[in-house]
């Protein structure tokens, strides 16, 4: 039921939401950026977990492609499929941060989006193996059309600049969905270029739609949502690597060969978590320009974090003789995404909290050393893990020394 209008045609604000009292239909109005105690909802957590199903499928196919010696094609397919997953997740996340009114219709439409990602996940294997993107496209279109419906709700519930912004979003997203049909109809040799063009167009929609009126996303909520998704992706990486090591030990009795990979992989994942969460990033998200750069850059953070798990699986398969690649290639499958993760996390937010050249150089130097570990043969993964752990220890030591100096300086000033 819609809220009644005043005599001046200005909509009355919706009453505060109360636990256990949910109306089927409420106006989809912007929530406040300064809203207190804003946290991720159970629906958002379910949304994230279902998206990880698609990420896991993409990782499995990447492992198969790299292990069979088709790394180039596998990485390209992975980048394309992961873009569809990440872009749909990101658009929902920022929309929900601004407009989640938790009514019944909002929940139903979100569940439709979850169904879309499951359809997408079901088509990942065919996209990799047969370059057949129909199921992936259908799943993606389901998710995106559901989002168009949400933006139309926003347009209907508001007027002025906010209505214009919502209509721009709806039209832009809808036009892009028409363009994605080219991945099914166009010849295979031009699909890569078409994908690149469509990806750029998709990423242009939010800046265009919000050029005169930004959405009211919540910095704390956005930082938490991205952090939770990073944890889920790293958790999937741990699960994939654990299963690979378990299978290698049970089927090949190769504990000696796999122990360095397992130890190095755990060190990498633990360090990846520590490095990401060592700083409170929400304070840096002060404007749309900063938020766009930060949000878009997480494509590389999420993709590289998930690829670390795939690389560990490849390293395990190579160690037990099941992969048709060299030790160098298997090592690179772990070290390259690890280095990319370190550099991207540093570029997006770690560097804003580092003081002095020494602190600024820790992660870039660690990324370079991780790449050098590629050439250490069967000890490459363990060496990369030790380097990332050392980077964490070095960063914490430098931060502690800086804090101690500041305390001494403060006491001297007070004295």
Q: Closest Cα to residue 294, out of 204, 237, 222?
A: 222
348 domain residue, yes or no: yes
164 domain residue, yes or no: yes
26 domain residue, yes or no: no
233 domain residue, yes or no: yes
160 domain residue, yes or no: yes
Per residue in 68-82, pLDDT tens?
A: 888 888 898 899 899
* Nearby residues of 415 by Cβ (< 8 Å), 6 or more positions away: none
pLDDT of residue 186: 86
Per residue in 226-235, pLDDT tens?
A: 999 999 999 8
Asked whether residue 195 falls in the same domain as residue 230, the answer is no
Asked whether residue 314 falls in the same domain as residue 403, the answer is yes
Q: Closest Cα to residue 71, out of 337, 298, 264?
A: 337
Angle at 98 between CA 94 and CA 100, to 5 degrees: 100
* Nearby residues of 228 by Cβ (< 8 Å), 6 or more positions away: 40, 45, 48
Q: Which domain holds residue 242?
A: 219-414
Domain boundary among 189, 209, 229: 209
> Region 62-73: what's the mean pLDDT?
89
4 domain residue, yes or no: no
pLDDT of residue 10: 42
Task: Inform me whether the pLDDT recorded for 304 exceeds 70.
Answer: yes
Asked whether residue 49 falls in the same domain as residue 148, the answer is yes
Surface-to-core class of residue 98, CB atoms within 10 Å of its CB (0-12 exposed, 13-18 middle, 19+ buried): buried
Classify residue 279 by its DSSP letter.
S
Asked whether residue 231 falls in the same domain as residue 100, the answer is no
Q: Extract the tokens encoding 266.
A: 């755990």
What is residue 21's three-state secondary structure?
strand
User: Under a CB-based contact definition with an 8 Å cutoff, are residues 49 and 121 in contact?
Assistant: no
Domain boundary among 181, 209, 237: 209
Per residue in 17-56, pLDDT tens?
A: 555 555 677 788 888 877 888 888 999 999 998 888 889 8
Asked whether residue 150 falls in the same domain as residue 173, the answer is yes
How confident is residue 173, by pLDDT bands cut at 50, 70 and 90? very high
Terminal C-alpha separation, the chain: 65
User: Under a CB-based contact definition with an 8 Å cutoff, are residues 121 and 139 in contact?
Assistant: yes
Asked whether residue 88 falls in the same domain as residue 135, the answer is yes
301 domain residue, yes or no: yes
User: Under a CB-based contact definition with an 8 Å cutoff, are residues 277 and 306 in contact?
Assistant: no
pLDDT > 90 fraction of the chain, expressed in percent and rounded: 47
Per residue in 148-164, pLDDT tens?
A: 999 999 999 888 999 99
Asked whether residue 47 falls in the same domain as residue 156, the answer is yes
Asked whether residue 348 falls in the same domain as residue 274, the answer is yes
Domain boundary among 209, 236, 271: 209
Asked whether residue 233 falls in the same domain as residue 137, the answer is no
Asked whether residue 268 falls in the same domain as residue 194, the answer is no
pLDDT of residue 288: 61
Measured in whole angstroms, the distance separating CA 281 from the mean position of its chain's CA atoms is 15
**Mean pLDDT rounded to a whole number for the chain:** 85
Asked whether residue 259 falls in the same domain as residue 175, the answer is no
298 domain residue, yes or no: yes
What's the number of domains the chain is made of? 2
How confident is residue 2, by pLDDT bands cut at 50, 70 and 90? very low
- Give the whole-angstrom CA distance, residue 190 versus residue 206: 26
Asked whether residue 273 falls in the same domain as residue 400, the answer is yes
Tally of residues, the chain: 415
- Give the whole-angstrom CA distance, residue 120 versus residue 129: 15
């Amino acid at each position: 039921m819609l809220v009644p209008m005043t005599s001046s045609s200005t909509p009355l604000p919706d009453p505060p939401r109360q636990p256990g009292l949910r109306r089927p239909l409420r106006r989809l109005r912007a929530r406040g950026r300064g809203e207190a105690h804003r946290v991720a909802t159970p629906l958002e957590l379910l949304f994230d977990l279902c998206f990880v199903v698609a990420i896991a499928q993409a990782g499995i196919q990447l492992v198969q492609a790299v292990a069979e010696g088709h790394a180039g094609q596998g990485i390209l397919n992975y980048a394309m499929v992961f873009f569809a997953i990440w872009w749909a997740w990101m658009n929902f996340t920022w929309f929900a941060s601004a407009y989640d009114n938790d009514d019944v219709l909002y929940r139903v439409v979100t569940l439709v989006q979850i169904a879309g990602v499951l359809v997408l996940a079901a088509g990942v294997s065919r996209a990799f193996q047969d370059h057949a993107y129909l199921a992936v496209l259908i799943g993606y279109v389901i998710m995106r059309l559901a989002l168009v419906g949400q933006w139309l709700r926003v347009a209907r519930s508001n007027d002025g600049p906010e209505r214009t912004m919502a209509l721009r979003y709806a039209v832009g997203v809808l036009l892009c969905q028409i363009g994605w049909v080219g991945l099914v109809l166009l010849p295979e040799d031009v699909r890569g270029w078409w994908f690149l063009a469509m990806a750029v167009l998709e990423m242009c929609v939010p800046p265009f739609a919000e050029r005169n009126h930004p959405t009211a996303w919540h910095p704390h909520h956005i930082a938490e949502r991205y952090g939770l998704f990073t944890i889920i992706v790293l958790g999937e990486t741990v699960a994939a690597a654990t299963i690979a090591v378990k299978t290698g030990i049970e089927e090949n009795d190769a504990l000696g060969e796999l122990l360095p990979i397992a130890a190095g992989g755990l060190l990498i994942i633990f360090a990846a978590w520590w490095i990401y969460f060592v700083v409170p990033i929400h304070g840096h998200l002060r404007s749309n320009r900063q938020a766009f750069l930060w949000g878009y850059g997480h494509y590389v953070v999420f993709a590289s974090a998930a690829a670390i798990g795939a690389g560990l699986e490849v390293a395990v398969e190579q160690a037990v003789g099941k992969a048709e690649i060299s030790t160098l290639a298997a090592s690179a499958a772990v070290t390259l995404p690890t280095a990319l993760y370190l550099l991207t996390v540093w570029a997006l937010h770690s560097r804003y909290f580092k003081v002095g050249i020494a602190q600024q150089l820790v992660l870039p130097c660690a990324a370079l050393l991780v790449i050098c570990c590629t050439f250490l043969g069967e000890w490459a993964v363990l060496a990369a893990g030790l380097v990332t752990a050392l980077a964490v220890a070095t960063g914490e030591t430098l931060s502690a020394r800086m804090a101690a100096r500041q305390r001494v300086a403060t006491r001297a000033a007070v004295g």
